[in-house]
Chains A and B, each alone.
Chain A
Amino acid sequence: MRWIGAAVVVGLAFGAAMFGVQEYESRHADIEAPLPPGGDRVAAATDALVADHLYVAPELQRLITPEEQARVATAAAAADPAAFIALSGKGDAGYYLDADLAQYLIDGVGEAGSYLVWDGESVSGTERTTGGDLSTYVSPDMAGKTEAALMRYIDAVDAATLEPLDDSDYWGGPRGGFLAALLMVSGGYLALTLVVGVVRVLSGASYFLPGRWRDFVTGSKA
């Protein structure tokens, strides 16, 4: 009877663990999954970045002359790590946040380096790095003349190096996750026994529940 119960519990525990992991994955989307289609502006910006590291939306052309654009594009292409700049405008162009566009661009261009997205009016752009981490902080500050701000950014990227990503996650991988969980569960179980025990004692019963863990080993009936 005891062993049948134990087997059922082990099965339940496995099922619960599987279910928990599934729930966790459904709440934390898989980044390996392909992005939803990005639309015309994403495509235009991606093509421009692949061709010459710079995209300027039609409605932002007044911010930077063709000559300035040529200089910025050359500098961005020469930078190491590579710099990619999208002056993308502000509206509803098939993506939500500038960070979303950066993600589309990283996905579409597929080259390691620093990606800057600027809507053309905020004081600061949005920077995302792929293929590693930049060794120094690169400010996406866009104050002042557009060409000067972009050159400032490109110089900062060029001065930095691309460090390999520290590939362990917040928990330190499977091992760290398992050990952290072990700590959590033991703490939680002790707290639970304490609460149950105190409630039992207050209601006049013994602190410990009937039945001992050693019963599993000894098979004792008493």
Chain B
Amino acid sequence: MVARTALAGVLGSLALLAASPAVATAALPAADTTPVPVLVDSTVDQVAAALKQDPVIVEQVMGNGDAAGAHDRLRDVIDGSDAPIYVVIGSTPRGLGESDPANDLAVRLRSRLGAGIFIIALTHGPPRHAAWGVPEATQYSNAVYDAYKKMLPLAYPDVDWETYDSENRPRGLSDVAYAQIAATVAAGGAPWGIDDTALEEIATASWAPLPEELPRSYDAATPGGRWVVGTVVGLSVLLVGLRLVLWATASRKARQRSTAEATALTPTRLDLADLVARAERTTTKLADELAGASSSPYADAAVGYRTAAEAVLRDLEDLSLPEDKARYGTQLRDAVGALVLANAGRHELGRAGKGGGTERYVPCFFDPLHGRAFHTVSAPGRAAVDVPACRRCSETVSSGGTPRALIFPPVRRRQLRPYYEESTVWARTGYGALDDELWRAVVADRAGVDR
């Protein structure tokens, strides 16, 4: 572009010398016999001479793919018009101003050819139309601009020219189409204008729009690309779809379980003072009963339970407040344990009376406060592990739910979980549900802690 402009500048300054009127008149007769040179090699005088022979010049370089057709169409329109009309479409002749060569050429041609309408589109600068010596010359100019503006939406009905989208915006109309409008308006004479049918005919002609970029081979669809797109789309739909089907058709049990898991995780309501009071009362009763009991293996076990319960209760003489979360939690766990120990002890004594006929005291695994377990169920989530459960808990499990487990208020929220997932002696033994001799485990644990 820089090179082109510099070249045009040099040619322009040279041509200024040649473009004097004397040279122009001298050059005219020669043009009748010699073949018309291309515009870029012509002086303005040579262009004027050529226009006298044929008022329409369309060169291939600006012909939008059909220079001869454009020439004939323009001739059809202007032949027989009142005012002389000249059309020059092609390379930029020598000796013209750099900034607006088309306008420059129109002015210079007018001085050689006289009044008329000049329609000029060159390889450099914007296309121009100018009228001299015709009625309402300015109106002509405006009529062409208006027609051109009306033509764009006709030629590209789907394009919004207001929003600038350089990526997908079409290139627009060719100078050939522009010249066809300007020539049609010019040929109609004043009052200047063009009827909509003629305008639409030009706008929708195959030669009107500038060609777009051709599809590139590197951008073309390939077998690999087809497989990538097909597999990604198909497999994604398949995976997600099947997963949703699984979810939707998951048995009611499984869904209940998952909702139960979601809702069961709230701390069990517990009253520490009440628990301790109940544990103390039961332990006192156990001690009273032991005083009158005769010797037996069951009585020995009951003594063990009493010892353990009393040991646990000793730590519960000084009750803490719920605000002291860690100590309060430990005391809650111990209070439940003391109560279970005392109940188990009393149960052992009862077995002695019945000659050992009944089973040992086994509390509900999910929450020992539920009372004795008379059933065995699979632990939720661990189908291989059987745990003892009270009647209600076993019914919940067999209908697909998760029993409400004993959950202590956590120190931090994310620690919210059933007691049996903790790491206390109570969790390990399931408050006796998983251990035949809870009292031994508790005593051993206490001894370990003391040491």
Residues of A within 8 A of B213 (CB): 96-97, 100
B242 nearest CB across to chain A (Å): 5
A61 to B91, CA, bound (A): 13
**Inter-subunit contact A174/B237 (CB<8 Å):** no
Residue of A92, A177, A178, A205 touching B174 (CB-CB under 8 A): A92
Given A177-B223, A222-B251, A123-B62 contact (CB < 8 Å)? no
B212 nearest CB across to chain A (Å): 6
Is B68 part of the binding interface, using a Cβ–Cβ cutoff of 8 Å? yes
**Inter-subunit contact B226/A177 (CB<8 Å):** yes
Residue of B41, B63, B233, B244 touching A62 (CB-CB under 8 A): B41
User: Looking at the complex, which of A74-82, A150-158, A206-214 is the stretch in contact with chain B?
Assistant: A206-214
Residue of B41, B60, B224 touching A57 (CB-CB under 8 A): B60
Is B153 part of the binding interface, using a Cβ–Cβ cutoff of 8 Å? no
Q: Mark A134-154, 1 if CB is under 8 A from B, else 0.
A: 000000000000000000000
Residues of A within 8 A of B238 (CB): 9-10, 13
Residues of A within 8 A of B20 (CB): none
In B34-63, which residues have CB < 8 Å from any A CB? 38-41, 59-63
**Inter-subunit contact A171/B38 (CB<8 Å):** no
Residue of A31, A96, A213, A222 touching B253 (CB-CB under 8 A): A222
**Inter-subunit contact A24/B225 (CB<8 Å):** yes
A170 nearest CB across to chain B (Å): 6
Q: Mark B370-401, 1 if CB is under 8 A from A, else 0.
A: 00000000000000000000000000000010
**Inter-subunit contact B248/A5 (CB<8 Å):** yes
**Inter-subunit contact B224/A174 (CB<8 Å):** yes
**Inter-subunit contact B226/A59 (CB<8 Å):** no
A120's nearest neighbour on chain B, judged by CB, is B4
Given A94-B66, A211-B247, A20-B234 contact (CB < 8 Å)? yes
Is A192 part of the binding interface, using a Cβ–Cβ cutoff of 8 Å? yes
Given A16-B233, A213-B246, A189-B239 contact (CB < 8 Å)? yes
A62 nearest CB across to chain B (Å): 6
Residue of A16, A44, A62, A122 touching B234 (CB-CB under 8 A): A16
In A110-131, which residues have CB < 8 Å from any B CB? 121-123
Is B163 part of the binding interface, using a Cβ–Cβ cutoff of 8 Å? no
A39 to B67, CA, bound (A): 9
In A14-63, which residues have CB < 8 Å from any B CB? 14, 16-21, 23-25, 28-31, 33, 35-42, 44, 57-59, 61-62
B223's nearest neighbour on chain A, judged by CB, is A174
**Inter-subunit contact B60/A93 (CB<8 Å):** yes
A93 to B174, CA, bound (A): 10
Is A168 part of the binding interface, using a Cβ–Cβ cutoff of 8 Å? yes
Is B227 part of the binding interface, using a Cβ–Cβ cutoff of 8 Å? yes
Residues of B within 8 A of A57 (CB): 60-61
Q: Mark B191-229, 1 if CB is under 8 A from A, else 0.
A: 000000000000000000011111111011111111111
Residue of B4, B64, B224 touching A94 (CB-CB under 8 A): B64
Is B166 part of the binding interface, using a Cβ–Cβ cutoff of 8 Å? no
B70's nearest neighbour on chain A, judged by CB, is A40
B297 nearest CB across to chain A (Å): 43
Is A215 part of the binding interface, using a Cβ–Cβ cutoff of 8 Å? yes
B252's nearest neighbour on chain A, judged by CB, is A221
Residue of A1, A95, A222 touching B400 (CB-CB under 8 A): A222
Is A199 part of the binding interface, using a Cβ–Cβ cutoff of 8 Å? no
Given A17-B233, A91-B91, A9-B228 contact (CB < 8 Å)? no
**Inter-subunit contact B224/A171 (CB<8 Å):** yes
B400's nearest neighbour on chain A, judged by CB, is A222
B171's nearest neighbour on chain A, judged by CB, is A96
> Which of B174, B221, B259 has the most chain A CB within a 10 Å cutoff?
B221
Chain B interface residue count, CB cutoff 8 Å, equals: 76
A204's nearest neighbour on chain B, judged by CB, is B262
> Which of B65, B220, B250, B265 has the most chain A CB within a 10 Å cutoff?
B65
Residues of A within 8 A of B247 (CB): 209-211
Residues of A within 8 A of B280 (CB): none
**Inter-subunit contact A17/B64 (CB<8 Å):** no
Residues of A within 8 A of B33 (CB): none
Residues of A within 8 A of B241 (CB): 8-9, 12-13
> Which of A28, A216, A221 has the most chain B CB within a 10 Å cutoff?
A28
Residues of A within 8 A of B229 (CB): 17, 20-21, 23-24, 181
**Inter-subunit contact B246/A171 (CB<8 Å):** no
Residues of A within 8 A of B242 (CB): 6, 9, 216
Is B240 part of the binding interface, using a Cβ–Cβ cutoff of 8 Å? yes
Residues of B within 8 A of A24 (CB): 221, 225-226, 229
Q: Mark B247-266, 1 if CB is under 8 A from A, else 0.
A: 11111011101110110010
A31's nearest neighbour on chain B, judged by CB, is B220
**Inter-subunit contact B227/A94 (CB<8 Å):** no
**Inter-subunit contact B211/A36 (CB<8 Å):** yes
Is B16 part of the binding interface, using a Cβ–Cβ cutoff of 8 Å? no
Given contacts A8-B241, A94-B65, A169-B222, 15 further A-B contacts (CB under 8 A): A1-B249, A2-B246, A13-B237, A13-B241, A19-B233, A39-B65, A58-B59, A59-B90, A62-B41, A93-B65, A97-B213, A185-B239, A188-B236, A210-B257, A211-B247
Residue numbers of B with Cβ under 8 A of A are 1, 3-4, 7, 38-41, 59-68, 90-91, 123, 171, 174-176, 210-217, 219-251, 253-255, 257-259, 261-262, 265, 400
Residue numbers of A with Cβ under 8 A of B are 1-2, 5-6, 8-10, 12-14, 16-21, 23-25, 28-31, 33, 35-42, 44, 57-59, 61-62, 89-97, 99-100, 103-104, 121-123, 168-178, 180-182, 184-185, 188-189, 192, 204-206, 209-213, 215-216, 220-222
A-B contact pairs, 11 of them (CB 8 A): A20-B229, A31-B220, A40-B68, A58-B61, A91-B91, A91-B123, A92-B62, A100-B211, A171-B225, A209-B250, A213-B246
4 tightest A-B contacts by CB? A39-B65, A94-B65, A171-B224, A17-B234
